[in-house]
Amino acid sequence: MIFNGSTSIGAVTAIVQLVNFIVLPLSKLGIEMNNKKAGEAAIRSLNQLLAKIHKPKDTSNYHILKKFEKDIKFTNVNFSYPQQGKLGKRVLTNINLRIEKGKKYALVGMSGSGKTTLLRLLMRYYQLGRNSSISIDDVNINTIELSSLYQLINIVQQEVYIFNNSLGYNITLGKSFTKQELNYAINRSGLRRLVESNAKGIEMDVGENGKEISGGQKQRILIARALIRKTPILLLDEATSSLDQKNTIAIENTILGIEDLTAIVVTHKLNPNLLKKYDAVIFMKDGSVTEQGSYERLIEQKGDLYNLCSLTAN
């Protein structure tokens, strides 16, 4: 057509380019449709699993707790992880604890002593046996509606999942919060410097699983996520383990300073100056709580905490 003059080279070039705008998105659509299908299947399996775990046997007896007013009680808590149809070895033995509203607890003990398991049970990740119970304001957690339970309790764990999105999104997770609330979470979690050090501020991209930011900054995002939700009970499971001393102290001080917050902080950094600030230290050993009380008192009695502290000090 160019040779017989019915079109020009420019027109052909333009056509080729314009066709690309149609063909490339179309071929991409195929790939994305596949991803969407795979995602849907994964969500379906996940929902089936969740429904199985959390299906209330009797909804008439279900409680919705709007507020946390008094305490959390662990009563005769015994637990083994279920393993292929039978129960594995005993992981928690006869735990009795009372966590009072507004107080801060440090949960310490050697690795494998059952600290994480204890928090998981409070989050109801596993079902407790008949003679064991955990209650919030005297309501057995098994009878608390799950979404209502998660409006009371939030957990920050070691494993961090960061979405390939902005810093702000990773804190709010798409929920709407006021600017003040977002600023509160950013300041309290120690993210202010990161926000101010880049041109895009809270709109900055954190990259695929947060590859643009440090481990400590990811950890702080998780803490900000928890703080912005203002759940009255906060559990931290070695959440500061990837932070340096200075940042650990800053974050723990933040949590200790939030008046109404009830917090259980699992920590393996035994910093006396920090431990002193907790209302109580709970010491776990081989699945049992062997000591609880103020840091000073436990050190004075020269028991398990004293031994672990002198072990790690040397």
By rule CB under 6 A, what string of x and - marks binding of each residue 229-258 to ligand ADP?
Answer: ------------------------------
In this structure, the number of other CB atoms found within 10 A of the CB of residue 274 comes to 19
Specify the residue for token string 């199985």. 52
Task: Check binding of 84 to ligand ADP (CB under 6 A).
Answer: no
Lookup: tokens for 150 = 């998660």
Look at residue 126 and give the partner it binds from Mg ion, ligand ADP, none, a contact being a CB closer than 5 to 8 Å depending on partner kind.
Answer: none
Amino acid type, 71: D
* Three-state secondary-structure class, residue 115: helix
Which CB, 39 or 129, lies closer to ligand ADP?
A: 129
* Three-state secondary-structure class, residue 41: helix
Lookup: tokens for 217 = 């900054």
| Cβ within 8 Å of residue 140, ≥6 positions away | 133, 134
Look at residue 88 and give the partner it binds from ligand ADP, Mg ion, none, a contact being a CB closer than 5 to 8 Å depending on partner kind.
Answer: ligand ADP
Q: Contacting Mg ion (CB under 5 A), which of 113, 116, 219, 292?
A: 116
Smallest distance, ligand ADP to C-beta of residue 124, A: 15
Smallest distance, ligand ADP to C-beta of residue 92, A: 8
Smallest distance, ligand ADP to C-beta of residue 121, A: 10
CA–CA–CA angle 236, 294, 137 (5° rounding): 60
The arrangement of strands across the sheet holding 233-237 comes to 153-156, 233-237, 262-266, 104-109, 280-285, 288-293
Smallest distance, ligand ADP to C-beta of residue 126, A: 9
How far apart are alpha carbons 140 and 20 in whole angstroms? 61
Lookup: tokens for 249 = 């102290």
How far apart are alpha carbons 120 and 115 in whole angstroms? 9
How far apart are alpha carbons 275 and 295 in whole angstroms? 6
Rg (CA), the chain: 26
Look at residue 219 and give the partner it binds from ligand ADP, Mg ion, none, a contact being a CB closer than 5 to 8 Å depending on partner kind.
Answer: none
Look at residue 56 and give the partner it binds from ligand ADP, Mg ion, none, a contact being a CB closer than 5 to 8 Å depending on partner kind.
Answer: none
Report how many residues bind Mg ion under the rule CB under 5 A: 1
Residues 102-131 that bind ligand ADP (CB under 6 A): 109, 111-117
Smallest distance, Mg ion to C-beta of residue 117, A: 8
By rule CB under 6 A, what string of x and - marks binding of each residue 49-68 to ligand ADP?
Answer: --------------------
Helices (H), the chain: 9-54, 115-122, 146-152, 167-172, 179-188, 192-196, 215-229, 245-257, 272-275, 295-300, 304-313
By rule CB under 5 A, what string of x and - marks binding of each residue 125-144 to Mg ion?
Answer: --------------------
Binding site for ligand ADP (CB under 6 A): 81, 88, 91, 109, 111-117
Binding site for Mg ion (CB under 5 A): 116
